[in-house]
Amino acid sequence: MKTLAIFAAGTALCLTACNRNQANDNGTADTNLVTNDVTMTDDMNTTGAAPALPTTAQAFADAAASSDKFEIQSSELAATSAQSAAAKSFAKQMITAHNGTTAKLKSTLAGMTPAMTPNDTLNPEQQALLDGLKGKTGADFDAAYASAQVTAHQKTLDALNAYASGGDNAKLQELAKGMIPTVTAHLNLAKGLK
């Protein structure tokens, strides 16, 4: 359960970086947003209920860090294994966005008292999804990557909304709130990959 919470939080933070250079609500490019997205599987806990969303600062930081790491690694695979230009372009954008959100997360955490260090270890679900992508190429990879991106972005959006409204750290809540528009935009882009 703790791993799922961490994964959800990481996914949320990572998706924030996903909206860099994406159109904002008025149709203009908003380059001030750090973008990020996260890929998550559609997991349920043993009771069949949705996994718990992160509410502690450490859980949110860990989830964001592991989500960034997963997003970078899965998108690096897409850069070489994807067949479509759209998937490759999206992957390139995700790599840039997630490197940016990793830096922003570290900066935010370093400014806190006491400073916090995020754990970016992939959780079992992230590792399984990454391993599943490694065995695919071409159109099969494109379909799996697109599906993973949609799932991850939706879960990240859910985690961001949850932490923004119920998190235990004001700085991280503000970070989560700032990521919501970017993650929403990346979710829409990911849906367009299918």
For range 136-164, the mean pLDDT: 89
SS3 23: strand
pLDDT digits (tens, 9 = 90+) for 98-148: 899 889 899 999 989 888 999 999 888 888 888 989 989 899 999 999 988
Could you give the CA distance from residue 87 to residue 72 in angstroms, rounded to a whole number? Answer: 14
Under 8 Å between Cβ of 173 and 7: no
What is the identity of the amino acid at 149? Q
Distance between the two ends of the chain, CA-based, in angstroms?
A: 30
Asked whether residue 20 carries a pLDDT value surpassing 80, the answer given is no
Q: Tell me the domains of the chain and their CATH numbers.
A: 2-20+54-193 (1.20.1260.10)
Under 8 Å between Cβ of 60 and 108: no
Q: Tell me, what's the pLDDT at 156?
A: 81
pLDDT digits (tens, 9 = 90+) for 30-79: 333 333 333 333 333 333 344 568 889 999 998 888 888 988 999 999 99
Could you give the CA distance from residue 21 to residue 5 in angstroms, rounded to a whole number? Answer: 29
- Name the pTM for this structure: 0.72
